[in-house]
Chains A and B, each alone.
Chain A
Amino acid sequence: MRSDIFSFCSDPAVLETFQWMSCYLTTGKHMGFYLSFGTVLLLLALAAPAALLFGFGGAMAARARFVPLSWLGRGYIAVVRGVPDIAFFLFFVIALDQGIEYLRHKVKCPDWDEPIRQGSDFIVCEAAKLPLGTSPQWIHETYGFALAVVTFAIVFGAFAANVLFGAMQAVPRAQIETAEAYGMTHRQAFWRILVPQMWTYALPGLSNLWMVLIKATPLLFLLGVEDIVYWAKELGGSKTANFTAYPHPDWRTWYFLGLLIFYLAFTRVSELVLDRITIRLSHGQATVAGEAQRKAS
């Protein structure tokens, strides 16, 4: 659907370069391309808090006094960080999918007697398939996207756990001791004293993590989501007059240049915003930055 101002687009062959371009850039496929920028932003909006949650859980587990739990937390941090992230992305998408289907299979078809792995096939009963074979297309897409969000949360959760763990250790010991001297329990001291103070120590690490998360979003493409990389490849490839009214040679270089600029702008804006937040958060803190602010005012 094109609005009336582009009515001259009905016969592309006769257009001037500028008009041809404006028609070309408003085709339905290009609208899909522009929308996929929204997909990336949505992923960031969902994955960042989820990763933070995983990170908080991981950090709490790693400093737990119960030893096996502490090992679990430390193991999670160490393994995810020691292996190329991309391997994790490829691994988790299949592993999560199979794990969920396996659990559903156990619940929904208890009297199934064949093995699930038969050679190179993974077979669960019809009812356990997720999404169901009969579901509409958008459910499949949403499911794929949700898997991607969870994968991002697991991988970046480990990095966030590492940052938060460091930040919790960085809060001066005297603060906790004072809290205990006032008769707070371990739990109270953690939530009322440690957690509010740790953010200023965690912020440099977390802002770095945010930058990294932005730069990891093109990996969505590998997880099978139709993101900006997918569209750039799709639209940039050479088109002939047989298939479209807008034939052009291979323009992928230009499309990827566009993505490059998008990411550069995005990281630059994030940098500026994060700098401001850092200034805000160091206000009144017993750190070098906080002290400098106190002296300046």
Chain B
Amino acid sequence: MSCFQTFQDYAFRSLGYGERLLPRSDFTLCEQFTLIGSGMIWNIYYGVLAVVTGFVFANLLAVGKNAKSPLARKPAEWFIFLFRGSPLFIQFFFAYSLFLSLKGMSSVFDPLSSAWLGALIVLFLNTAAYSAEIFYGALRSIPKGDIEAADAYGLTGWSRYRKIMWPTTMRLAWPAYTNEAIFLFHATTLVFVSGFPAWRQKGDALYYAKYFADKTFNPFVPYPILAFYFILLTLVLISLFGLVNKRLNRHLPKAKRPKLRFRPNLIR
């Protein structure tokens, strides 16, 4: 079987298209590359959606944590503590069994217990908490002069936040936020090894890498392939976030622009 044929059969296997059965024996390098790459679709799906939705919620949380009123501050603080203080792995397990028992009550909750939605919700909440802490830190370190200037111009409330505070927050937080985003993509590999089942063997990249490692009892091929894909993904992310960083800092002289450095905050 040619490699092109394999590609046709398995390139979208993770979404349920193509060959139904996974290869069972005589695994070729091509099969491993194709299937693990196919699994990457899910990693990118979770990563992109969780980063985009988490970003919005994180801004809200950061402003909440910075608020004077305890009614806004306390819930935000507790939320951030809850999701940053416990392992993502346990959060997945807990969420899955919670969703299962919800499913037992009403069929409205059915989609929650499947990975595409349930795991996405957990990742969304988790990244929102981590990003909110970054944004909160940035919000606290806005130079005093910026706020005073805004006051002098008569800007208050929403327009002050929108025109002065938010752009500066983003500018200050962006390098750290880039690492958080990269790190979230790495965390997406936890989805199928925790509670959520891979229905009809539609899994992510790690799921297929593990499948091959278990079948061949040889970890030295599938895991390096997985590593290759993730290093590629990390490089793409760094360049994309780098473009945004450039735009955020376009008013600064070149030497003063903060550089993006890949400094991930490890597992969670």
Contact surface of A with B, Cβ cutoff 8 Å: 79, 81-87, 90-91, 94-95, 98, 117, 119-122, 156, 159, 162, 208-209, 212, 214-219, 221-222, 229, 232-233, 236, 250, 252-253, 256-257, 259-260, 263-264, 267-268
Contacts and interface: CB of A to CB of B under 8 A. Distances in A.
Contacts of A94: 213, 217, 219
Interface in B226-268: 226-227, 230-231, 234, 262-268
A236 B98 CA distance: 12
Nearest to A222: B193
A48 B37 CA distance: 34
B215 interface: yes
20 contacts: A81-B266, A82-B231, A82-B234, A82-B262, A83-B226, A84-B186, A84-B226, A86-B189, A98-B219, A117-B218, A119-B25, A122-B218, A159-B266, A212-B267, A212-B268, A215-B268, A252-B100, A253-B98, A253-B100, A263-B85
Contacts of A98: 219
A143 to B, nearest CB: 18
Nearest to A82: B231
A233 to B, nearest CB: 8
B147 interface: no
Given A87-B226, A250-B97, A253-B98, A215 B86 contact: yes
A85 B226 CA distance: 12
Contacts of B100: 250, 252-253
Contacts of A232: 93
Contact of A84 (B94, B215, B217, B230): B230
Contacts, number: 129
A210 B26 CA distance: 43
Interface string B87-101: 111110110011011
B114 to A, nearest CB: 17
Give the 5 A-B CB pairs with smallest separation, nearest first. A256-B94, A84-B186, A215-B87, A252-B97, A91-B223
Most buried by A among B93, B209, B264: B93
B85 A267 contact: yes
A263 B86 contact: yes
A252 B193 CA distance: 17
B87 A209 contact: no
A218 B90 contact: yes
SS of A interface (majority): helix
B118 to A, nearest CB: 14
Given A87-B206, A87-B226, A264 B25 contact: no
A212 B265 contact: yes
Interface in B189-215: 189-190, 193, 206, 209-210, 213, 215
Contacts of B101: 250, 253
A252 B100 CA distance: 10
Contacts of A221: 89
Contacts of A219: 89, 267
B94 to A, nearest CB: 4
B86 A264 contact: yes
Contact of A216 (B97, B189, B213, B267): B267
B45 interface: no
B226 A268 contact: no
B178 to A, nearest CB: 14
B220 interface: yes
B194 to A, nearest CB: 9
A97 to B, nearest CB: 10
A265 to B, nearest CB: 9
Given A215-B88, A218-B89, A83 B215 contact: no
B81 interface: yes
B210 A209 contact: no
B97 A236 contact: yes
A263 B90 contact: yes
A75 to B, nearest CB: 12
A121 B215 CA distance: 9
Nearest to B229: A83
B45 to A, nearest CB: 16
Contacts of B165: none
Contacts of B190: 86
B97 A95 contact: no
Contacts of A91: 213, 219, 223
